[in-house]
Amino acid sequence: MGIHREGGYSANVEGYIVVDGFRMRLAKSNGTTLVLNQPCDVAIPPRTDAELVIIVDGNKDSKRIVLTKGVNLGQRAVPYEEPVPF
């Protein structure tokens, strides 16, 4: 559970993506874009499948995503989408 502080709660949050076994930490994300913690040091082609992993207070959740435009060397902002479930 989060720590109660004046004005709200805090939580321990960690996020990363996994592409072909390679793990990249996230700085932040929203429903369409991931921001990598460090510039990417590998090139990833468009439409590559990845796993988005979010851990909040030790509770892990993950889902499959597609890196729509891939990732270029040095890039931090990475657009993604969730694949159609069927």
What is the per-residue pLDDT for 9?
72
What is the per-residue pLDDT for 2?
53
Segments of the chain with pLDDT less than 50: 1
Of 11, 16, 14, which is closest to residue 63 (Cα–Cα)? 16
What is the per-residue pLDDT for 63?
95
